[in-house]
Amino acid sequence: MAVIKIMDEILANKIAAGEVVERCASVVKELVENSIDAGSTEIKIELIEAGTKEIKVTDNGCGMDKEDAVLAFSRHATSKIKDEGDLYHINTLGFRGEALASIASVSKVTLKTSTGDIGTIVNIEGGKIKSVENGDARRGTIITVNDLFYNTPARLKHMKSLYTELASITEYVNKLALSHPNIKFILTNNQSILLNTDGSGNLLKVVKSIYGTDVVKKMINIQNSNKDYEINGYITLPEIHRSNRNHIITIVNGRVVRNMELNRVINDSYHSYKPDNRYPIVVLEITVDPTLIDVNIHPTKMDIKFSKMEELLNLIETTIKDALKNTYLVPHIEVKEEIKQEKEDKRHYEEQTLVLDRISESQIEYELPINEDINKDEDINEEMEIKKEEDNKKLPELYPVGLVHGTYIICQNEQGMYIIDQHAANERINYEFYKRKLGNPNKESISLLFPFVIELSNIEFIILKENLEILRNMNFDISEFGLNSVIVKAHPTWLPKGYEEEATRKIIEIVIKYEKDFNIEKFNESVAITLSCKLAIKANENLTLLEMENLINELRKCENPYNCPHGRPTVIFYSKYDLEKLFKRSGF
């Protein structure tokens, strides 16, 4: 008796659904991507109970005739590719032909579609076609998915909370809206609007719909290209950051992708401009010849492989670093006027705040458009042009007038008031000094009248003994001295006076730390950061007016005077107008 049998089509589709349809967001993703591929200019996504009860997607795309409407639910049925050669020139979001069959196998689906002639209505339950009828002639497609996973209770049991599901859907729809600003997207849950873009093609307006005006005003446009890649998009100033990587959005030829290498190089480009455990908001569009990428490596098509990856990473890193380097980065503290809200706005605010609170509880950070008039006619591009002109400025001449709590230097000029964190500022000065010295070492060293001995544990001593040459190349005269100890007889001239032994111990600690993965750039970076922090002016250390002036002058000479090496701001700014508003002197 034969043991091996061919599975029936419905069972095979349910198994495939395990890969393609993980949750409600997976269904929304597949349906909306089909609408985009159909040439839609308006797409509406309506959810009931975060999609667990119903997901309805309405578009004005090309639609389907009766034959295609029925065939679309067959496995591996697609209009996107026709032969093997098409796999290497994919210009659509979908192409595998599995999504509709997989969705239909674990839900109840109603499809209404038309090319502009007599329409078609197809009803399917659990992968079985129940009826095929004529419908109206409205051009486009309406597909409704009810009771997802009703026939697979194991999957249904593992669904997340409603707010987690809603967060996941909203996050992906936002990314689709950012990747296609020329399409009008409307997203609702229980008839409450969560997203509404205008489809004008203006990417900044989409960003505003999602993140609000305050974020848009603090974004920098970047664009660059090489022989194979073209990049374009917006990055936030270092003062705007989030707790996770979800807001680093990369789009390749109109497809939203998740790629760890791209995320890493984008985040690393902000190194020393922001805290290491925080991440910028970035919308980056990458245009490339389809033959240089492979999107057919995962059923969800979210991951992607690049040819000439190093060239792309270098292009992104150089572009972001240059943009930050040439931008005026002093945070401007604005005093906002109190705005009266209508009752409807208040209700909308409270509802969206509840969603945000629940999403925060599920550890998914996401921002919804709260109290933002997303259709407000505001010339965002003009604002960005004005900002670009301001960005050409460097840290201006500042005049210290006093010290607060022995920590914050108060300065002024004709523009307004500046507050400088003396520890952060001194850290930045030290960091750039030590990094420059480490990158361009001289051969000068100072012999010690009284050499000092550093004792180590047996493991540390073994590691250091194998890496003593690193220290000798830095002009340390260092050698073994008895059991698990080394003696230092000379050190490079750039070590801070009075802190020679402490600085040497820190450098030895870093050598031991990186011994398995030693990289001279990482090493120099770690030494510079460590020394800059340990040897900077501390908080509650009172400075004279002359010392304040010297600190400010040294800070102004820095390549990046705006942040300490850990990403904290060194200086913040209150304009004269903001000060007048605070003291009610500006005419209101």
Helix (H, G, I), strand (E, B) or coil at 293: strand
**Which region holds residue 407: left if phi is over 0, alpha if psi is between -120 and 50, else beta?**
alpha
- 517-551 burial, b if ≥16 CB within 10 A, otherwise e? eeeeeebbbbbbbbbbbebbbeeeeebeeebbbeb
218: Cβ contacts below 8 Å, ≥ 6 apart: 236, 237, 239, 240
Burial of 131 (0-12, 13-18, 19+ CB in 10 A): exposed
- What whole-number distance in Å separates Cα of residue 338 and Cα of residue 310? 49
Pairing of strands 248-252, 282-288: parallel
587: Cβ contacts below 8 Å, ≥ 6 apart: none
What tokens were used for 500?
Answer: 């020679």
At the topology level, CATH places domain 201-393 in Ribosomal Protein S5; domain 2 (3.30.230)
Number of Cβ atoms within 10 Å of the Cβ of 128: 12
Which pLDDT tens digits describe the chain residue by residue (588 residues)?
Answer: 555 655 555 555 444 444 457 788 888 988 998 899 889 999 999 999 998 899 999 999 989 888 888 888 876 555 544 444 444 455 556 444 577 888 888 889 999 999 988 899 999 988 788 899 998 888 999 999 998 877 776 566 666 788 888 888 999 999 999 999 999 999 999 999 999 999 999 999 999 989 888 889 899 999 999 999 999 999 999 988 888 888 999 998 888 888 889 999 999 999 888 888 889 999 999 999 888 887 766 555 567 788 888 999 999 999 999 999 888 888 877 766 544 444 444 444 444 444 444 444 433 333 333 334 434 445 555 455 444 444 445 789 999 999 998 899 999 999 999 999 999 999 999 888 888 877 666 677 889 888 999 998 888 888 888 888 888 888 899 999 988 899 999 998 877 777 788 888 888 888 887 765 556 666 677 777 777 877 777 777 888 999 999 999 999 999 889 988 888 899 999 999 888 888 887 655
| Residue boundaries of the structural domains of the chain | 9-159, 201-393, 443-492+497-534
Say what the pLDDT of residue 285 is: 94
Strand segments (E) across 355-407: 399-404
**What distance, in Å, lies between the first and last C-alpha atoms of the chain?**
91
Homologous superfamily, domain 443-492+497-534:
MutL, C-terminal domain, regulatory subdomain (3.30.1370.100)
Say what the pLDDT of residue 388 is: 47
- What whole-number distance in Å separates Cα of residue 164 and Cα of residue 527? 42
- What whole-number distance in Å separates Cα of residue 458 and Cα of residue 23? 53
- What whole-number distance in Å separates Cα of residue 282 and Cα of residue 235? 5
Say what the pLDDT of residue 337 is: 59
At the topology level, CATH places domain 9-159 in Heat Shock Protein 90 (3.30.565)
- What whole-number distance in Å separates Cα of residue 363 and Cα of residue 206? 25
